[in-house]
Amino acid sequence: MSSNPASGAKPTPPDQDEYAAYSNSIVGAAIFDLNGLPKEYFTAGESSNMSWVQTIFQALGLRSLLMSSLQLEGFHHAVIQGPDCCAVVVKQPARYMALLIQQAEPTSTMTESFVQWVQRFEPSVLKTHPRFRAA
């Protein structure tokens, strides 16, 4: 986004606009270290069901096994589809980030731009966001 310094108005960072657009569909988040071990969990609202985190843990273990056995490189993201929600797992520079997304339709949220947004997502936002609590 370009800005006109003469106007005195500060541009809104694109991430804030994207966060506003995407955040309402996030119902859970989990942060894993680069070894695939879970570090932190967050839930939105009253939901405390964290069973999806086990699925992500298993997917990261499978990824590790495939990479060592088949010398596969270049993992960027994975999507695990459920009946009402899906989980997207992305590799960030210092961690894996997993978000549980509630979807009205299976393809409504999971776009390439959304995956790119998750890759840039800073999980520290969840610690102070009023919608989320540590689980």
Q: What is the pLDDT of residues 59-90, one digit of tens each?
A: 887 777 767 666 666 677 888 887 778 888 88
pLDDT above 50: residue 96? yes
| Confidence band, pLDDT 50/70/90 cuts, at residue 105 | low
Looking at the predicted structure, is the pLDDT value of residue 2 above 50? no
| Cα–Cα distance for residue pair 118/125, rounded to 1 Å | 12
Q: What is the mean pLDDT of residues 88-109?
A: 78
CB atoms within 10 A of CB 46: 6
pLDDT tens-digit series, residues 36-54? 888 998 888 766 667 777 8
Q: What is the mean pLDDT of the chain?
A: 74
Comparing CA positions, the residue from 18, 3, 23 lying closest to residue 132 is 23
**CA-based Rg of the chain, rounded to a whole angstrom?**
16
Place of tokens 């106007």: 7
Please tell me the pTM assigned to this model: 0.73
Cβ neighbourhood burial of 57 (10 Å; 0-12, 13-18, 19+): middle
- Please say if the pLDDT value at position 7 is more than 50: no
Separation CA 80–CA 87 (nearest Å): 5
Task: Judge contact between 102 and 84, C-beta under 8 A.
Answer: yes
**Listed residue (113, 112, 88, 110) closest to 99, CA to CA:** 88
